[in-house]
A and B are shown apart, each in its own frame.
Chain A
Amino acid sequence: DIQMTQSPSSLSASVGDRVTITCRASQSVSTYLNWYQQKPGTAPKLLIYDASILQTGVPSRFSGSGSGTDFTLTITSLQPEDFATYYCQQSYSDLPERTFGQGTKVEIK
């Protein structure tokens, strides 16, 4: 199985800050890496697919990069509505067992 590790597990940031979340795969997943945002009490929402493509309607302050084993999600200017938990998900293997990272919680400083 491919293992996904996110870092940090949590972070505190202020409105307007630049935030970077890292996701590392235990083996290459090419660019088959997706990011989701989950706000408390709500379902996850697809933010970025194929490592760097923004889902329709996602603000341009979000961006994704990387390939192979190392990926980043960047929020250029954190907004109040961005405080949430973010998950990476690899889709290199056809079987989605253990497909998600453990999540990164972005909290208000």
Chain B
Amino acid sequence: QVQLVESGGGVVQPGKSLRLSCAASGFSFDTYAMHWVRQAPGKGLEWVALISFDGGYKKFADSVKGRFTISRDNSKNTLFLQLNSLTRDDTGIYYCARDRRAITVANYWFDPWGQGTLVTVSS
């Protein structure tokens, strides 16, 4: 079945870096755009970044622009999110989610989602 499994979360000090991974299975990973969405403790959902099917198009939320990078390895069916210069506001659960198409254009949705990986930024 279609499955996304995140990993790489943990406790990290402010200013440090972390790399998250999302392993995909059960579908043709290289034909879908992918997203990262995060959720601060007790808060709502915040879209973070997207990457097109081939990695040629990437976009970021203003809150992470210049600090986070998104990439993918289609040969390994894996999505990545590199988190740099972390602050306490970056604490939360990070979910990867699949787009409905190869690129993100109007009328898209996120389905399915992974189970999430927790990032805690604390000294």
Contact = CB atoms under 8 A, between A and B. Distances in A.
Interface stretch (A18-26, A64-72, A74-82, A85-93): A85-93
Instruction: Name the interface size band of chain B.
Output: 20 to 34
B16 interface: no
Looking at chain B's contact residues, the main secondary structure is: loop
A89 B35 CA distance: 14
B47 A45 contact: no
B104 A32 contact: no
B41 interface: no
Given A42-B115, A91-B109, A94-B105, 4 more contacts: A43-B116, A45-B112, A92-B106, A100-B44
Interface of A: 32, 34, 36, 38, 42-46, 49-50, 55, 87, 89, 91-103
16 contacts: A34-B110, A36-B110, A38-B45, A43-B113, A43-B115, A43-B116, A45-B112, A46-B112, A50-B107, A91-B109, A92-B107, A94-B105, A96-B50, A98-B47, A99-B47, A100-B44
